[in-house]
Amino acid sequence: MAAIGAKTRWALIDIVVVVYALVPVLWIVSLSFKTKETLTDGNFVPRSWTLQNYVDIFNTTVFLRALVNSIGIALIATAIAVVLGTMAAYAIARLDFPGKQALVGVSLLIAMFPQVSLVSPLFEMERGLGLFDTWPGLILPYITFALPLAIYTLSAFFREIPWELEKAAKMDGATPAQAFRRVIAPLAAPGVFTTAILVFIFCWNDFLFAISLTSTEASRTVPAALSFFTGSSQFEDPTGTISAAAVVITVPIILFVLFFQRRIVAGLTSGAVKG
């Protein structure tokens, strides 16, 4: 009886958490399917369904252009941050070099630094350097703020890989590069995937830099572009289209995570050492 009681209690807690997390998301999904007339009727399930909002956003160049910017900027920033992060994390996990503690400390400092306080100086600097409203103008700060995250996650993964595997590879005749490529890298792959997803989500979701460091369609990403959405006339409420756009940019992330979930699962190194 006690077991059933405990199970029910846990089930209730689980439901509360899931509902709390999902209601706002479902609300936006619901809004995106509502017609203009029923938008404010307060029903959770739309009374009349429409796909007009989705058709509308894909008919505007604003959204499509922003989507291209978002994908491009997030992918490039993720790739660079993960490559740099992998190298830095490998060094931190494996080597003893002077200034190692300082490096870890500084990267922690960057992660803790309030980004808002950097927006104005960055704005001035980027205008001075001609980076304002360009792709590199967003990619650079994204890499800066994603690197600590990448280094931390990846060095945790590298620490999990037994060092003896590398020694064994050396004894088996591998050069350091071969040992990294054929033994360490395949084992670190889940860590690299996890980090890539986290960094990608960070870049994809950023609003602060996107709104402050861009001014035109040339580099404005979706989160920023959404705030500039208007209806077809000035007096029209854009809630429906904003909701639709929000749904559209959330879907790739969800698919991405679901698709790579199996690869993220840890425990790939089981069987390497001990019995």
Partner 1 sequence: MAEIVLDKVTKRYPDGALAVSDVDIQIADGEFIILVGPSGCGKSTTLNMIAGLEDISAGELRIDGERVNERAPKDRDIAMVFQSYALYPHMSVRENMAFPLRLAKVDKATVTRKVEEAARILDLTQHLDRKPGNLSGGQRQRVAMGRAIVRNPKAFLMDEPLSNLDAKLRVQMRTSVSKLQKRLGTTTVYVTHDQTEAMTLGDRVVVMRGGHVQQIGSPQFLYEQPANLFVAGFIGSPSMNFLPATLENSELHTPLGAIPLTDRVRRLAEAANAPREVIIGLRPEHFEDATLLDDNEKSRGGTFNATVDVLESMGSDKFAYFTVEGETATSAELDELAADAGSADLTDGGAQIITRLSAASQATEGAETTIWFDADKLQMFDPSDGRNLTYTE
* Binding interface with partner 1 (CB under 8 A): 162, 164-165, 167-175, 178, 182-183, 186-187, 268-275
> If residue 275 lies in a helix (H) or strand (E), which one and from where to where?
none
For the chain, the helix, strand and coil percentages under 3-state DSSP, each to the nearest 5: 75, 0, 25
165, two tokens: 């595997």
Beta carbon of residue 96, minimum distance to partner 1 (angstroms, whole number): 10
Q: Smallest gap, in angstroms, from Cβ of residue 266 to partner 1?
A: 12
Which is nearer to partner 1, 73 or 192 (by Cβ)? 192
Phi, psi of 232 (to 5 degrees): -70, -25
Which residues have a Cβ under 8 Å from the Cβ of 72 and sit 6 or more positions away? 135
DSSP 272: S
Provide the residue type at 201 as one letter: I
Q: Which is nearer to partner 1, 21 or 177 (CB)?
A: 177
Judged by beta carbon, residue 65 or residue 170, the one nearer partner 1 is: 170
Rounded Cα–Cα distance for residues 95 and 148 (Å): 18
Two tokens, residue 43: 């029903």
Q: Which is nearer to partner 1, 110 or 268 (CB)?
A: 268
Cβ proximity to partner 1: between 99 and 271 the closer is 271
Closest approach of partner 1 to the CB of residue 247, in Å:
38
Smallest distance from partner 1 to CB 159, Å: 16
**Shortest distance (Å) from residue 219 CB to partner 1:** 40
| Residue-wise DSSP of 111-166 | HHS-THHHHHHHHHHHHHHT-TTSHHHHHHHHHHHHHHHHHHHHHHHHHHS-HHHH
